[in-house]
Structure 1
Amino acid sequence: MQPPSSITPDAPAAVRAPLLTQEWLDLSFVHWAVDPAVVAPLLPSGTVPDTHEGVTYVGLVAFRMHRVGWLRLPGVPYFGSFPETNVRLYSVDAHGRRGVVFRSMDASRLIPVVMGRLGFRLPYLWSRMSVRTDGDTVDYAGVRRWPGPRGAHSRITVARGERIEEPTELEHFLTARWGMHNAFFGGAAYLANDHPRWPLYRAELLACDENLLASAGLPTPREAPVSVLYSPGVPVRLGRPSRSAPAVPHPRRPLQRCHIGSTGRVMASYADEEE
């Protein structure tokens, strides 16, 4: 297994022949620190948790998808534009490629949801959603329709702060992700992307009422997130899926319970640990 690739604010390689083009707009990144052992069983075969200083993260990312287009065709104005909220984890494969793993992807357009589920085996879910801006404040709301669990919801309100001129290494780790790992037909696959460097802003989480993390099999946070960021967005190009080679298995000890530590980190306790 190769060591993880360097964390870079710019894409390490351009996507020369994009399968999809799109814009990600008005993004809010909300992150909590998590014990890698908590998320390891939730990742596709061939990947392990990607960590920063021994910790991995769960992200709640809300944004507007805009003008999704196939190949080099112009983006679709209606069916290709919609609000979306993702629950995502951080992964690395045997080639050292860092990526994200989506546990859920709530979107408000049924046709893209069906295409994403059938064509890419992505965990897209049809939801009633809205994104509203008022000056520097952005409000994201959604209630799941299909396939469920019905009633899964989120309401996130973020206030944008000052522009970040020099993001920290952790902020690059959480946002500069140049691919996606996903369970695909016959095994895990990697889908690369490229886009300009993120314009990032500090942000304050004014409100967060959600159960998407719990619906995705993750512990419900009991403390404030460790990172809240905002970006006005970037244009994105996504490549074609490529196979991920099997990785060295991550130890998966019998999990007994999860709890929230004093720092807000989700910690794990195991059945084989002595009291």
Structure 2
Amino acid sequence: MGERVVSREAERHLRLLVMRADWLDQAFVHWPYRPADVQVLLPARLTVDTYDDTAWVTLTPFVMAEVRAAGLASPAPAVGRFLETNLRTYVRGPDGRRALWFLSIEVSCAAMLAARAVGLPYHSGSLTLRRDDGVYFYSGMRHGGGASYRLTVRRGEPLPAPSERDVWLTTRWHAFTRRAGLIWDTPVEHEPWNLHTGTVEGLAQSLTTAVGLPAPSGEPLVHVSPAVRQARIGVSRPRFRAGY
């Protein structure tokens, strides 16, 4: 299984920034998976990370707000505020570095599709969010048909002292992507997650099967974070060859 502790605090290692943004009204819907079901979707030199010998896949819709390129004092006029939904898992590189691996990313802002240049799997879609007294109603439909989701989450009590598993499931300070035969590393910094418990009150989705996973089984584990301010995204750098 290996060391499973993940730091709740950022590594404070960023020197060159690409972007700053606020992440608002974020839900985390976590499903357990057999490690072999996830490993088959990864490049050869990445290993699925596990908690208690279980792999996890997380659906996380949220609002990107106050998006600004590094060095700009005001939000980027072509971006501003938009909805995004990630389907992600947790991996280790050959040197043991922990990172996110995005299986798919749905986004309502066409300008973000430029991030495909570093291997991020962005798909343009129509995404919506409605809030009603602590209940979040998310939905998304990928343009051109195919993958979609409808999710209703009720926010619960705050978690002033998140457990080790809560932190493991929500926190990573790197994201790996694959491009031109290389694995690229994008560093991230932000304040610790302001986590609440959560409950799924409705869910229908085809994102997991669209990426080649079996349909999730059982009740998911849920977190909600009302806001993380001024998340900082660094420059992507090639880390190692992807392998085959």
CA contact (8 A) 1:18 1:237 kept: yes
- 1:132 corresponds in structure 2 to 130
Q: What is the CA-CA distance between 1:80 and the residue it aligns to? A: 3.4
Pair 89,142 (structure 1): closer, same or farther in 2 beyond 3 Å: same
CA contact (8 A) 1:5 1:98 kept: no
- Cα distance in 2 for partners of 1:97, 1:31 equals 21
Provide TM-score, normalisation by structure 2.
0.92
Instruction: List structure 1 segments (4+ residues) > 4 angstroms apart after TM superposition.
Output: 3-6, 246-249
Matched, 1:186 2:181: yes
Instruction: Please list the CA deviations of residues 151-205 of structure 1 after superposition, one character each: whole Å capped at 9, or x if unmatched.
Output: 3210111111110011111110011111101102331111110000100000111
Matched, 1:233 2:227: yes
Secondary structure at the counterpart of residue 76 of structure 2:
coil
Q: What is the CA-CA distance between 1:18 and the residue it aligns to? A: 1.1
The Cα RMSD (Å) is: 2.0
- Cα distance in 2 for partners of 1:45, 1:23 equals 34
Which of 200, 215, 219 is the aligned partner of 1:224? 219
Q: What is the CA-CA distance between 1:246 and the residue it aligns to? A: 5.6
Provide TM-score, normalisation by structure 1.
0.82
- 1:110 corresponds in structure 2 to 110
- 1:207 corresponds in structure 2 to 202
- 1:58 corresponds in structure 2 to 57
- Cα distance in 1 for partners of 2:60, 2:31 equals 12
Aligned length, in residue pairs = 241
Matched, 1:7 2:6: yes
Q: What is the CA-CA distance between 1:83 and the residue it aligns to? A: 0.8
Q: What is the CA-CA distance between 1:109 and the residue it aligns to? A: 1.6
Identity %: 32
After superposition, residues 1-275 of structure 1 pair within 5 angstroms as 6-73=5-72, 74-76=74-76, 79-113=79-113, 115-117=114-116, 119-146=117-144, 150-225=145-220, 227-234=221-228, 235-245=230-240
Pair 157,107 (structure 1): closer, same or farther in 2 beyond 3 Å: same
- Structure 1 gap ranges (5+): 250-275
Larger CA Rg, structure 1 vs 2: 1
- Cα distance in 1 for partners of 2:212, 2:63 equals 24
- Cα distance in 2 for partners of 1:125, 1:156 equals 18
Instruction: Please list the CA deviations of residues 120-157 of structure 1 after superposition, one character each: whole Å capped at 9, or x if unmatched.
Output: 221101111111111100111111104xxx13210111
Q: What is the CA-CA distance between 1:228 and the residue it aligns to? A: 0.2
Secondary structure at the counterpart of residue 19 of structure 1:
strand
- Structure 2 gap ranges (5+): none
